Chain A
Amino acid sequence: MIKEYLESLNEMEYVKGVILSDRDGIIIESLMSTELNKELLAAMAAKVASNIENNISQLEEKLNSQCIIFTDEVNIFFSIMSDIILILLTDTKANIGGIKLNMRKYVDLIHDELSG
């Protein structure tokens, strides 16, 4: 089921790849059609999640879920939910609002799925 969710995300326009990892950066599932190394991306996601938890969440009471890094080459979306991180790599032309909405939807579904 998780793979289907990831496929739905991966089929969105300008999406280059999807990774689901745990908070330590260990990959649970991935669909990558890009030259970027998925292990490195997962490691990066773990770093971002820990950064948000340690730094940004101090400004608020609880850690929330989304982070987007915009670069010249790609946009990297992170959705952090409890112990899982959903990572999406897109072209810079991707619809940010649409991707955010879909990521929120699927990360909830994946979290429910994994929680059993």
Chain B
Amino acid sequence: MMDQNELLANDPGSLFIAQLAQMYIDNGLIDEAIGMCEQTLKAYPEYDECRIILLKAYMIKDNFEKFIIHYDYLQKNAPSIPLDEFKNYRNKHIGGKDATPLHEEKKKREVVKEEKHEDVRELDKNISIIDNMENLIKEEIENLSNVIGVIVSDDTGIPIASHFQTEMDVDETTALIGLTINDMREALNIIELNSFNKIYIEIGKGIVYIFPLTESTFLTVIGTKASNIGMIQLVAKRLKEVMGDYL
């Protein structure tokens, strides 16, 4: 192989320089290709074939700053030369109306990835809110005597947060509470009342208190017959204020 200085000295405008630079690129000698092309272009700036090889080399090196200098030069001084193969790379860095579907696809993937990250962050936030709610319930329940458990659930019977002093089936209990709430609403509709502030139900061994937190979420306290309704109402009011913010 001829020395590059020898080639430049012999015929600097020759296509052979560009071909040699391309061979360097093909063999992974990118820096050598760049050196040779830059040196040639200093002396012969209109050697467009050489500049195109230089564009390829900078694209491979991901040196956009250098790449765009030569890209703009060619666009300005040799507009007839097609630069399609470089448009993707250019648009990736600066965007633009020429962005190809491939680029858009990549951009979309990035957006989806970001959305997924956002979802995970949101999920983490919600888990932390539920943890906070459960801790709050636990703290409050400890201040109350004769309380069996507290559940925050929605009107479809899905539990959101709960804490029980004794072993209970949370899903079954929440489902029954959901049914009760909906039946009570239907019952109130009969007399044209739309909502309730609280419901107190006394059953065999205990008492169920239901307090609406939002339009569709409810706080249910299950206590024994000895539970203190006044204290429960106070605690429910406090929980309602704090949980209302969470919900």
- Known A-B contacts: A56-B208, A58-B176. Give 12 more (CB < 8 A): A41-B191, A47-B186, A51-B187, A52-B201, A56-B180, A56-B201, A59-B208, A59-B222, A63-B204, A64-B202, A69-B184, A70-B198
| Chain B residue with Cβ nearest A104 | B202
Q: Tell me, rounded to whole Å, the shortest Cβ–Cβ distance linking B22 to chain A.
A: 80
Q: Per-residue 0/1 for A51-71: is the Cβ within 8 Å of any B Cβ (1 yes, 0 no)? A: 110111111111111111111
For the A-B complex, the count of residue pairs with Cβ-Cβ distances under 8 Å equals 92
State whether A48 touches B187 (Cβ < 8 A): yes
A43 and B196 CA atoms in complex are apart in Å by: 18
Q: How many interface residues does A have (CB within 8 Å)? A: 34
Chain B interface helix/strand/loop/mixed: mixed
Size of interface on B: residues with Cβ below 8 Å to A: 30
Contact: A67 with B176, CB < 8 Å?
no
How far apart are A105's CB and chain B's nearest CB, in angstroms? 15
Interchain CB contact under 8 A, B204 and A64: yes
* A63 pairs with B203, CB closer than 8 A: yes
By a CB distance below 8 angstroms, the chain A residues around B202 are 64-67
A residues adjacent to B (C-beta < 8 A): 36-37, 40-41, 43-44, 47-48, 50-52, 54-74, 96-97
Taking a contact as CB atoms under 8 Å apart, the answer to whether B204 and A69 are in contact is no
Asked if residues A40 and B180 are in contact (CB atoms below 8 Å), the reply is: no
How does the 8 Å CB contact mask read for B165-199 relative to A, with 1 for contact and 0 for none?
00000001100110110011011101111011111
Give 26 CB contacts A-B under 8 Å: A37-B191, A43-B190, A47-B186, A47-B190, A51-B179, A51-B184, A54-B179, A55-B176, A55-B177, A55-B179, A58-B176, A59-B206, A60-B203, A61-B204, A63-B203, A64-B203, A64-B204, A66-B202, A67-B199, A67-B200, A68-B200, A70-B196, A70-B198, A71-B195, A71-B196, A72-B195
Q: Chain B 219-244, CB within 8 Å of chain A: the 1/0 string?
A: 00010000001000000000000000
A44 to B189, CA, bound (A): 9
Instruction: Give the chain B neighbours of A41 by CB distance below 8 A.
Output: 191
